[in-house]
Amino acid sequence: MRSAVAEYLINYNSFELFGLSHIVASLLFIFLLIFLPFYSKSFLSFNQQKYLGNFLGFLIFINFPIWVLLEFIGGSFDVKLHLPFHLCRFANLLLPFIMFRRNEFIFQILFYWGLSGIFQGLVTPDIVQDFPHFHYFRFFIGHHLMIVALIYVIIVYKMEPTLVGLKNSFIGLNLFLLISFLVNLLLDANYFWIMDKPPMGSLLDYMGPWPWYILTAEFLALVHFGLAYVLFLLIKKYFIK
């Protein structure tokens, strides 16, 4: 079994940016983003809404543990690569606190993280495995569905991001950056792409050399947080009754 899992993890078709599988995943994301929250709000009972929300939370959460388990089974687990010190992984693990418990503080943090940093992952996915590899599904569930779940929480559960939440989310982002930096120093790793840019190409390529791209990314993150709040105001004005 170990050799079969190891073979599976390293054999795949290469992902093509804006290729067919990328476009299909993006179109499905747009459909679910519009359809799922409004269908739930309009046609499902309170208990059905809760079950659907819990399912979303669990599906997004479980991706990372399954990946780690596969790496363990395949004998390729590496503390430099497979710990939850990338923002999206950590956010996925926190999501059940919103979907199951409606935790207000964590919602505020993840809303701004999700609609800024994770949204960038939709445009420039940092994956190399194409459909139908596990990592293809893991990436798009962890990014696309994460945003769908956050919008679901706003539309169905009527949780609202705030400007105080924006501040706390930015502080939380920098605390996470600091922790990831210390982990990188300890393990000689590159979590959160702090020590170097991702090898597959990303928006960081246009933000200058290290370490200046980190400062540029900080500024852009704050701008994205502001745009995320504006997006919420538009949703509230036109879609939340």
How is the chain split into domains, by residue range?
A: 2-238
**CB within 8 Å of 122: residues ≥ 6 apart:** 26, 29, 143, 144, 147
Strand partners, 129: 14
Lowest-pLDDT choice from 103-107, 108-112, 194-198, 221-225: 194-198
Predicted confidence at residue 121, as pLDDT, reads 64
Predicted confidence at residue 169, as pLDDT, reads 97
Closest CA to 109 of 150, 142, 53: 150
Predicted confidence at residue 149, as pLDDT, reads 97
Lowest-pLDDT choice from 19-23, 55-59, 66-70, 205-209: 205-209
Q: Are 71 and 63 in contact (CB under 8 A)?
A: no
In the predicted model, what is the mean pLDDT of residues 210-233? 90
**How far apart are alpha carbons 127 and 227 in whole angstroms?**
26
Structure-model confidence comparison of residues 116 and 24, the more confident one: 24
**Residue 54 — very low, low, confident or very high, per pLDDT cuts 50/70/90?**
very high
Predicted confidence at residue 186, as pLDDT, reads 97
Structure-model confidence comparison of residues 99 and 128, the more confident one: 99
Three-state secondary-structure class, residue 143: helix
Predicted confidence at residue 207, as pLDDT, reads 74
C-alpha dihedral over 191, 109, 54, 44, to 10 degrees? -140
Q: Render pLDDT for 68-97 as a digit per residue (tens, 0 to 9).
A: 999 999 999 999 999 999 999 999 999 999
Predicted confidence at residue 241, as pLDDT, reads 67
Other beta carbons within 10 angstroms of residue 55's beta carbon come to 12
Predicted confidence at residue 115, as pLDDT, reads 86
| Phi, psi angle pair for 135, to nearest 5° | -65, -30
- Chain mean position to CA 208: 24
Predicted confidence at residue 39, as pLDDT, reads 96
**How far apart are alpha carbons 133 and 76 in whole angstroms?**
17
**How far apart are alpha carbons 177 and 192 in whole angstroms?**
7
Average confidence score pLDDT of the chain: 91
**Residue 28 — very low, low, confident or very high, per pLDDT cuts 50/70/90?**
very high
Q: Render pLDDT for 171-208 as a digit per residue (tens, 0 to 9).
A: 999 999 999 999 999 999 999 999 988 776 666 767 77
Rounded to 10 deg, the angle between the 146-156 and 104-113 helix axes is: 130
Start-end of H helices in the chain = 2-10, 20-43, 46-74, 87-94, 96-99, 104-113, 119-123, 134-140, 146-156, 163-187, 212-238
Say whether pLDDT at 213 is over 80.
Answer: yes
Total residue length of the chain: 241
Q: Render pLDDT for 109-151 as a digit per residue (tens, 0 to 9).
A: 999 998 876 566 666 777 889 999 999 999 999 999 999 999 9
In the predicted model, what is the mean pLDDT of residues 98-106? 96
**How far apart are alpha carbons 195 and 187 in whole angstroms?**
12
Tell me the pTM.
Answer: 0.92
Rounded to 10 deg, the angle between the 163-187 and 87-94 helix axes is: 120
Closest CA to 193 of 205, 168, 166, 14: 205
